[in-house]
Structure 1
Amino acid sequence: MKLSKRDILVKRIENHLRLTSRQLVKFDTEEETLQYLINSFRSELHCDFVGIFLKEEHQLFPKAISGGSESFVHSFPLNIIDCSNELLTKSLTIENTHIQDCQFSKLLMTEKITTWFTLPLKEANNISGFCVIGFMSAVPLFIEMDDTFNEFSKDVAVAISLAKGKEKQKEKMIGIEWFSQNLLLDSTIEQLVERIVERAAKGTKATGACIYLFDEKEDCFVLQSPAYGVVKQPEIMAIADDYVLKHHFPCLEVPGGGQLTVPLVINLKTIGVLHVEDKRKGVFTNDDIEVLELMSTHVASMLENARLYKNEKEHKQKLHSLLDYHQELIKKTVEQEGFEGITGALSKLLLKSVLLFDRFMRPLAYSLLHLKETDLRIISKFAEKKVMNNRKYELVIPINDNRSENFHFWPVNGAGDLLGYLAVNIPSEEFDELERISIELALNVYSVQFVKQKLVLDTKEQVKDSFINKLLAKKVEDPNSIMQYANLFNWDLRKEYRISVLSIILNDDEIKKGNLLEQQAKKSFVWERLRASLQLFDPDFIFSNKGDDFILFVEAEKEWKNPEKYWDTLYEYLNNRMKMEKMSGQLYIGVGGKTSDIHEYYNCYQQGIQAINVINQRIPRQGFALFEKLGAYTLLYHLRNNDFASDFINRHLKPLLQHSDQKNVDLFQTLRVYLFQNGNLKETADTLFIHRSTLQYRIEKIQSLLKVDINDSEERLNLMMAYKLYDLQRVSPNH
C-alpha cells in the first residue's frame, strides 16, 4: 500500500524523535543536551523558533533558545502565575491556549510566531519545564503526532535529569579534587576558612559566605574570619542553654530563601556551621544545599584538625612562655630584684595589674597598668576588711562613685605561716589553666622570697640582739663598739629613748593545754605578729629580745610631751591587733625611764621590768604603766635590793606568806586588796567575790597572825610599804 506524503512525513518525524531520544542520553551536561535538542528540531522540522524553559521556584527561566530576539530573552523570568497553568501539564498549541490570559503566549505573538506547540518536560511526577517549537508562517499541525511528542518529551525530561546528575557527579569529583589541591593539612585555620567560604560562595552564586565555629568554653558560636563578601551576621552568637541549632540559624538546610546554612558535624558533634547569603540570582535551592553539604562533609574534619593544631601550637607556645617566665622569676630572686622584679614579670605575662601585700595588707610591690597609685590605699583598706577579717578572696572594689575594679586575692604561705597576699586585677574565672599555673609558680617564688627576706632579717636581728644585750648590761663595756653597731641600724644612741618592756601572759587554757616548750612557742608566735604590728604603727621603732623580755625602744620626742596618752594609744592599738588576728593571751607594757646617755639604758630597762611587776600585781586591768607615774614605787625602787628591805618584808608579811602557802585560803592577797580598798569591807568583799562575814573572819585571822591592829594608820602604812617592796622584788612570770 502506497503511503501518502503525510504518512511519510509522520514516519520520518517519529524516526527522528526516536534517534534523538537515544542520542540525548549520551551527553554529560545539561547544556549539551539542550543544545543538541534545539539543533535537531531546527534541522529536521525546519522551524523558526525553538525554546526550552525550566521552572525554578515560582518562575520560568529560558535555558536554551534558538530564533528568539534579545527583547524576548530579556523579558524573562516570568511568573508562572502570569502564564497558562497548562504549560507545565500538557501539550498546547496556539489554537487551544487562552492568549489573553497567558504572558508567555503574548511574548510569542510579539515575536510573530504564527504557529507553535509545547511539550511539557515531565519525569514521573516531577515537572521541570516545557519545550516550545514555533513557525513564523502558518504550518499545519498533525494531531496524530500528539502522543508521539508527549512520549518524546518524557525522554527529554529523563535525558535532562541524567545530564544534571552527571554534572553534579562531575562537580563532586571536581570539588573533591579541589579539596585535595587547595585544603592542605599544614594550612592554618584562617587559610582554610578563606578558601572554603570563597568556594561556597562561588558554588552557590552567593555574594557572602562565612563559617561559625562553636566555642565550648564560652558556649557560643564565633564568626571565624575571614568571611567572603559582606556578611550581615553578628560576630558572636550566644547559645544561652538553647542547643537547638535551628533556633539560632533559621535557614538551616531550608531552600527557597535569601540565606542558607548547613551544619559542620564530626562524629555526631556539631563543631560549627557553613553559611551563605544573598544569592546573585533567585533564591537558594536544593542544589545549593547539596553543594554546601558536600563541602561540609569534607571540610569539617579539616577545620577541626586545624583548630586542634592551632590550640596545640598555642598551648606549646604558652608552655615555652611559662618556662621562660619561671626562669625569669628565679632570676629576679637571684639578682636581688626581689618582690618588684617578680611582680613586674607576672604583670607582663598576664597583662594585668598585680599587687603584693604583706600579711597586714600593706603594699610591698605593685605593677599598675591602668590603676593609679592613689588607688592602692583604697584597695588596701577594702581588702583588709574583706580578706583578712572575712576570708573573702573574690572582691569587687569600689574605687570611686563611677568605677569599680575586680580583684582576686591569693594567700602567700610558707613554712606553715601566712606571709602575705597576692592580688590580680581580674576575676579568677577568667584565668585559663596556664595562667593559673603561672599564679601558682609566682606564689611559690614569692614564698621563697619572703623566707629569704626573713632569713636576712633574722640574721640582722641576731646581730642587733647581741649588741643590745651588751647595751643593757649593768656595766657597759666597750661603748665605742656598741655605738658602731647601732649605726648599722641607723640608731643614734645620742638621742633620748624611752625603754619599755612587753610581757605576754597566756590564758589559763593555753597554759593547761601545753608544756613549757609549747607555751614558749606560742609566745614567740604572738610576739612575731606583735612585732609586725609595731612596724605598722611606727616603722622607726626599734625592738629586740633579751631572754624572755620583749624590749621596745622609742624616741622620746614621739611622745609629744604627753607620754600617758601616747602609750595608751599604742597599748589599745596592739590589743586591737591581737583581737583582729585572734591571738590569745594578755599583753602588759611596762614603760621605763628616758635615756640621756649610753650608761642609763640598763637602769631604764630595769624600771620597765619593775613596772611590769607592779602592773601584774596591782593594776592588771590597766595593762600598761609608766614607771615614773607609780608614785612610791619609784622611791622604793632604789631600796628593793637592800637587805633592810628584805627584813622589812619578812617582818610584816612573812606569817601571811607562810600561811597562804600551807592553806587553801590566800590571806596574803586578802590583806593586799583590803589595804588598797582603804579598809572598805564591802568593796573588798566584792573584789574578792566572798561574803562579808567571810572577809571579817579573815581579817581577824590576819590580825592574829601578824599581831597588829590593821586599823592603825601607822601599821597600815608599814604593811602597804611592805607590799610595794614585795612587788618590786618579786619575779614576774617572764623574769
Structure 2
Amino acid sequence: MKKLDNHLRSTARQLIKFDTEEEVLHYLTAAFRSELYCDFVGVVQNEGSQFVTKAWSGHLPEVTDSFPLDIHTCSPKLLHQSLTIEKADSPEKCQMSRILKKAKVKTWFTVPLNDNDYNLGFCIVGFLNYVPLLEMETHFEEFGKDIAVAMSMAREKKSQLNKIEGIEWLSKNLSLNAPIEQQISELTGRAGKGTNADFACIYLIDEKKNCFIYQPPSYGDFDGPNKIMIEEDYLLNRYFPFLEKPGGSQLTVPLIIDLKPIGVLHIENHRGDPFTENDQRMLELLSNHVAAIIENARLFNNEKEQRNRLQYLLDYQQALVKETVEVENFDGITYKLSCLFQGPVILLDRFMQPISVDMFDDKNRAQLPAGFLEMAMEEKGYSKGADYFSIIVPNETSDIFTLWMINGGGSILGYLALRRSSGYLDEIDQLTIELARNICSLQFIKQKLVLDAKEQAKDSFIAKLLVEKIDDKEDILQYANLFQWDPFLSQRVAVIEITLDERESKGSNLLEQIAKKNLVWDYIKSNLIKIDANILCAYHDEKNILIVPISNETSASKKFWFTLYDQIKKWANETSIKCKVWLGIGGKTNTLSDYYLSYQQGIQALNIVNSRLQHLGYSLFEELGSYAILHHLNYSKAVDLFVMKQLGPLLTYSEGRNTDLCNTLHTFLQNNGNVKNTAEELYIHRSSLLYRLERIESLLDVQLNDAEVRFNLMMALKLYDMYGAKIET
C-alpha cells in the first residue's frame, strides 16, 4: 500500500508537467500498467451522451471494441466514486460490468475523473486473473482528482498555445489587400478546425436591408438560410440561441467594433458533441482580432466596387451622350439603359404614352406589361408634386416599376420607368438614375427644338398657302417638298376649336388658358401623326388646322369624319385638361387656290357648329344646306343692316336676360311653326311658348304665320350664325 501510495503521488506530480492531454493520458496508462502489472488500463471520457476511450494500454478487443457506450446504459456511479468488481452494479444493470464479465476480466476497479464537480470520465484498471484489492478507494479518488486537474491544465495549455498560434496565424494570413472571401475562408477554416466543429460560417449584418447575410465560403457543407431577416428587435440571441453559450452542439460569438455588432461567427457539430468554454474562448480570440479586419476589408471592397461602378457609369454616359448626338429617336437610349440597369426600361411622353420600350429579358417583346398604362395613369393622379412614384404590375413575379419624371425647361417632358428588384437605392444607383433622366431630357429637348423649327417652317408655309391670292407658288412647292407633302392631291381643310370648361378657365389668366389649350392640341397632334402621317397639322391665325387627304374618306366621307372626330374627343379626354372640342370641315381642294376657300368654309362650318350644332360637335361644309349658299355672300354693310332690321329688337331684348328669344324663334321656325313640337324641344309648357311668340311678334312688329316673314327671319338667323361676331347689335 505504501509503495502504491508513493507511486500515485509521483505520478500526480509528473502529470502536471505535460503540455497536452494526449501526453497526460499516455503517461498515465503506461505508468499504471508497469507498476501494477495489470492486463489493461484505460481512460474513458464523458462526451455528451456517450462514453468514449481516449487512451488505452493493453490488448483486450472484447472490451475496446464495445466503445462508445451510451451513458444511460451504464451505472451512474462510474462518474462519482471508485468502484471495484465487488461494489459495482450487477451486469444486468450496468453495460460496463456486463462487457467486463463477458471478456472474463476477473479483477477490475475504476477511478472517477472529477474537476470542480465537472465529470470528465473515469480511469479503469483490469486483471484477467484474480488479484486481491486493498482498501485504497480514498487514495485513488484523490488521484483521480489529480488526473482531472492535470487534464484540465493540459487543455488550458493547449488553449493558450492555440491562442498564440492563432495570433501568429492572424498576422500572417489576414491582410487588408486580400479579398474578403479569402479572409472569411481562412477565418471559418481556423474556427472549424480549432474547435473540432463540423461546420463554421459567418453572418454579417446588412443595415440597409435589415437582415443577416451569409458570407461564403463556409467551413463544411452549408445548409442554413442565406438571409435571416431582423424583425422586431436587434437582440442577437433571438436569431442565434447559442450566442456565447457553451455546452450545446452550436456556438455563436458576435463580431463587434466599437460596441457595435457587425455580424456573428457561428459553429455547429452535427454529431451532437458539446462545445466547451475553451471553444468559446477560441472563437472570441478570433472574433476580437478579425472583426476590424473583416469590416475594413468590407469597406475597402465596397469602396473598390463603388469606384468600378463609377467608371462603368462614366463609360455608359459617353455612349449615351453619343447616342443623343447621332440618333433622333429613343430606342438606342432605352436599349443602353436596360443594359445599364439590367432590367426593362420604358420611356413615356408627358401624356403617359409609350415612346420606346426595351424589356431586356425578352428582346423580342417590345410591348408593355398588361395594365401598365392604366395603373401608371391612376398612380400619377395620386402622386401630384412627387418626383417619382411606383406601381406593382400583377403577373407571375408581381413586377415593381418606378416611374421618374423627366423635366426640362421648367416643364415635364416625360417619364422614365424602371423595373427594380429592390426598393433601396444607394448613392451610385441614385446617380445612375439622375444620369438617365438627364440623358432622356437632352433627347426630349433636342426633339423639341427640331419639332419647333419644323413647326415654324410649317406655320410659315401654311400662312402662304391659306391666302386668297397666292403670289409665289414656287415657294409653296419648296415647303411642300420639305414636308414631303403633295399639295396637288385633293384634300380638305378642317378647323379645330378647343374650349376650356369653366372650372379650367376660372381663376387662370389668358396665358395659362392658352397653355392648357396648347397642351391638349399637342396631344391630339402627336396621336394624329401616329395613325396617319399624311395628315398635316398646323397653327394659323390663332386657329388649329388639319389638312386631310380625300383618299382617307374612301366612299363614306361622313363616316370617316365621324370616326376621326370621335377619336379626337377621346384624345382630348385622355389629358388632364377638362375641355370640349369642335370641328368644322371645309370643302374639297383641286388646286392651290382652293385651300383658302376650303379654310374659310371650315371656319364657317365651325361657327355653325358652335351656334347650332353643338350636340353633333362637327360638320362638313357641304352638309350645311343654305349655309353653304350664304357663305358665298361676302359680308357687307347690307348684311349688317338686313340682320339688324329683322332681329335687332330681339337681340337687344335678349342681352342680359335668361330667356333667349332668338333660340326660341329659331326652334319655332325649324319646326315649321308647330307649337307642340317646339314646346317639347324647348322643354317648356305650351302656354309659356305662346307667351314668348307673342312677345317676339310684339318686339319685331310681325306676324309669324306669314310665310314671307318666316323666310326673312330664318335668313337673318342664318346670317347671324355665320357673321354674328362681326355684326354690331
Aligned partner letter, 1:330: V
Which among 615, 618, 642 is matched to residue 621 of structure 1? 615
On the 8 A contact 1:210/1:276 being kept in 2, the answer is no
Q: 1:540 to 1:89 in 2, by over 3 A?
A: same
Question: What is the CA RMSD across the aligned residues, in angstroms?
Answer: 4.0
Q: Paired residue for 1:366? A: 357
Are the aligned partners of 2:201 and 2:267 in contact in 1 as well (CA < 8 Å)? yes
- Secondary structure class of the residue paired with 2:615: coil
Q: Distance in 1 between matches of 2:103 and 2:694?
A: 148
Q: Deviation of residue 243 (structure 1)?
A: 6.8
Q: Offset at 1:340?
A: 1.9
Identify unmatched segments of 5+ residues in structure 1. 1-8
Match of 1:315? 306
Aligned position for 1:729: 723
1:497: Cα distance to partner? 0.5
Q: Is 42-51 or 546-555 further displaced after alignment?
A: 42-51
Cα offset, 1:552, TM superposition: 0.9
Higher mean displacement: 513-522 or 715-724:
513-522
Counterpart for residue 295 of structure 1: 286
On the 8 A contact 2:357/2:368 being kept in 1, the answer is no
Q: SS at the partner of 2:715?
A: helix
Percent identity over the alignment?
45
Whether the 8 Å contact between 1:389 and 1:580 is mirrored in structure 2 is no
Residue 429 of structure 2 aligns with which residue?
435
Q: 1:130 to 1:606 in 2, by over 3 A?
A: closer
Which residue, out of 113, 117, 120, partners 1:128?
120
1:251-270 mapped onto 2 (5 Å cutoff): 259-266=249-256, 267=259, 269=261
- Equivalent of 2:496 in 499, 502, 525: 502
What TM-score, normalized by structure 2, do the two folds share? 0.84
Q: What are the within-5 Å matches in structure 2 for residues 321-470 of structure 1? A: 321-336=312-327, 338-371=329-362, 376=367, 379=370, 382-388=371-377, 391=380, 394-397=390-393, 406-415=400-409, 417-426=411-420, 429=423, 434-470=428-464
- Higher mean C-alpha displacement, 36-45 vs 624-633: 36-45
**What secondary structure, in the 3-state scheme, does the structure 2 residue paired with 1:554 have?**
strand
Structure 1 residue 226: Cα displacement: 1.8
Secondary structure of the 1:498 match is strand
Q: Counterpart of 1:491?
A: 485
Structure 1 residue 192: Cα displacement: 1.9
1:612 and 2:606 correspond: yes
State the shift of 1:77 in Å: 3.8
Which string of whole-angstrom CA distances, capped at 9 and with x for unpartnered residues, describes residues 159-210 of structure 1?
3332332222222222222222222233322112211222233223344433
State whether structure 2 residue 20 is matched by structure 1 residue 29.
Answer: yes
- Corresponding residue for residue 270 of structure 2: 278
Amino acid at match of 1:466: S
The range that moved more, 547-556 or 22-31, is 22-31
* Alignment equivalent of 1:554, drawn from 536, 540, 548: 548
Q: 1:122 to 1:404 in 2, by over 3 A?
A: closer
CA distance in 2, matches of 1:105, 1:706: 138
2:572 corresponds to: 578
C-alpha change, 1:43 and 1:386, in structure 2 (3 Å) is closer
SS of 1:550's equivalent in the other structure is strand
> Which of the numbers 169, 191, 197 marks the counterpart of 2:188?
197
Cα distance 1:24–1:486, how it changes in 2: closer, same or farther (>3 A)?
same
Is residue 169 from structure 1 mapped to residue 160 from structure 2 by the alignment? yes
Q: Residue type of the partner of 1:532?
A: S
Is the alpha carbon distance of 1:299 and 1:553 closer, same or farther for their aligned partners in structure 2, counting shifts above 3 Å?
Answer: same
Aligned: 1:209 with 2:203: no
Kindly state the Cα deviation for residue 550 of structure 1 after the two structures are TM-superposed. Answer: 1.4
Q: Deviations over 1:519-543 (max 9, x none)?
A: 4444334333333343355333112
Aligned partners of 1:408 and 1:370: how far apart in 2?
18
For 2:251, the aligned partner's letter is T
Query: Greater Rg, structure 1 or structure 2?
Result: 1
Q: 1:82 & 1:691 partners in 2: Cα distance? A: 112
User: Structure 1, residues 357-398: CA drift from partner, whole Å, max 9, x if none?
Assistant: 33445432222323365661664xx33433235637644556
1:155 matched to 2:146: yes
Pick from 517, 521, 530: which aligns with 1:527? 521
Query: Aligned equivalents of 2:642 and 2:166: distance in 1?
Result: 118
1:5 maps to what in 2? none
Secondary structure in 2 matching 1:501: strand
User: Is the Cα contact below 8 Å between 1:252 and 1:261 reproduced in 2?
Assistant: yes
Q: Which of 92-101 and 311-320 deviates more?
A: 92-101
Deviation at 1:484, TM superposition (A): 1.4
Aligned to 1:631: 625
Q: Deviations over 1:614-646 (max 9, x none)?
A: 223333332222111111222222223356545
- Given the two structures, how large is their TM-score scaled by the length of structure 1? 0.84
Deviations 1:490-522 (A, max 9, x none): 110110001111223444566664554444444
Question: Is residue 271–residue 304 contact of structure 1 (8 Å, CA) maintained in 2?
Answer: no
SS in 1 for 2:310: helix
Instruction: Specify the alignment match of 2:386 in structure 1.
Output: none
**Is the contact between residue 240 and residue 252 of structure 2 (CA under 8 Å) also seen in structure 1?**
no
CA contact (8 A) 1:652 1:706 kept: yes
More moved, 359-368 vs 92-101: 92-101
Once residues 77 and 576 of structure 2 are traced to their aligned partners in structure 1, the CA distance between those partners, rounded to angstroms, is 97
Structure 2 letter corresponding to 1:527: W
Separation in 2, partners of 1:683, 1:449 = 61
Q: Counterpart of 1:6?
A: none
Structure 1 SS opposite 2:492: strand
Hey, what's the Cα distance between the residues in 2 that align with 1:513 and 1:403? 46
**Cα distance in 1 for residues equivalent to 2:137 and 2:696:** 149
Helix, strand or coil at the partner of 2:380: coil
Q: Given the superposition, is the C-alpha separation of residues 524 and 28 from structure 1 closer, same or farther in structure 2, using an over 3 Å criterion?
A: closer
